[in-house]
Chains A and B, each alone.
Chain A
Amino acid sequence: MSEVKYSKEHEWIKLEGDIATIGITKHATEMLGDIVFAELPEKGSGVEKDGTAGVVESTKAASDVYTPVSGEVVDTNQEIVDDPSKINQDPENSAWFFKLKIKDKSEMNSLMNKDDYDKFAKENSN
Chain B
Amino acid sequence: MKTKKTSLYQLHQDCNAKFVEFAGYQMPIQYSKGIVEEHKFTRNHSGIFDVSHMGQLFIYGGDELIKDLEKIFPLDLKNLKLNHSKYSFLMDKDAGIQDDLIITKINEGFLIILNAACKDDDFKILQELLNEKYEMVLDENRSLIAIQGPKSSQILNEFFDGVKDLNFMSGDWFLFDNQKVYVTRSGYTGEDGFEISIPNNFADKLTRELIDKGPRLVGLGARDTLRLEAGLCLYGHDLDKDKTPVEANLKWAISKERISKGDFIGSDIIIKQLNNGVTKIRVGIKPEGRIIAREKTKIFNQSNIHIGEITSGTFGPSVNGPVAMGYVENEFSKKNTKVFLEVRGKKYAASVCSLPFYKKSYVKGAN
Contact = CB atoms under 8 A, between A and B. Distances in A.
Contacts of A33: 30, 34-35, 221
Interface stretch (B3-11, B56-64, B250-258, B286-294): B286-294
B342 to A, nearest CB: 14
Contacts of A62: 292, 294
Interface string B214-235: 0000000110110000000000
A9 B132 CA distance: 56
A37 B343 CA distance: 13
Given A59-B221, A62-B294, A37 B315 contact: yes
Contact of B36 (A34, A37, A57, A61): A34
Contact of B221 (A60, A81, A84): A60
Interface string A48-84: 0000000101111110000000000000000001001
B344 interface: yes
Given A59-B315, A59-B317, A60-B221, A37 B290 contact: yes
Interface string A18-57: 0000000000000001101100000000000000000101
Contacts of A61: 294
Contacts of B144: none
A60 B292 contact: no
A36 B292 contact: yes
A37 B29 contact: no
A37 B225 CA distance: 15
Contacts of B354: none
Nearest to B19: A126
B314 interface: yes
A37 B221 contact: no
Contacts of B29: 60
Contacts of B344: 55
Contact of A57 (B222, B224, B315): B315
A123 to B, nearest CB: 18
Contacts of B317: 36, 59
Given A36-B315, A37-B315, A59 B294 contact: no
A47 to B, nearest CB: 16
Interface in B320-346: 322, 344
Contacts of A36: 36, 290, 292, 315, 317
Contacts of B224: 59
Contacts of B39: 59
A55 B221 CA distance: 20
Contacts of B290: 36-37, 81, 84
Interface in B21-57: 29-30, 34-37, 39
Interface string A85-115: 1000000000000000000000000000000
Contacts of A59: 35-36, 39, 221-222, 224-225, 314-315, 317
A58 B315 CA distance: 8
By CB atoms of chain A within 10 A, which of B29, B30, B294, B315 has the most? Answer: B315
Given A59-B317, A60-B29, A60-B221, A34 B35 contact: yes
A33 B317 CA distance: 13
A86 B314 CA distance: 19
Interface in B283-322: 290-292, 294, 314-315, 317, 322
Contacts of B37: 34
Contacts of A84: 290
Contacts of A34: 34-37
Interface centre among A34, A37, A58, A61 (most CB of B within 10 A): A34
B35 A37 contact: no
A22 B36 CA distance: 26
Given A34-B36, A59-B222, A59-B315, 15 more contacts: A33-B30, A33-B34, A33-B35, A34-B34, A34-B35, A36-B290, A36-B292, A36-B315, A36-B317, A37-B322, A59-B36, A59-B225, A59-B317, A61-B294, A62-B292
What are the 8 tightest A-B residue pairs by CB atom distance, in nearest-first order? A36-B315, A34-B36, A59-B35, A34-B34, A57-B292, A37-B292, A37-B290, A59-B315
9 contacts: A33-B30, A37-B292, A37-B322, A59-B35, A59-B222, A59-B225, A59-B317, A60-B314, A85-B36
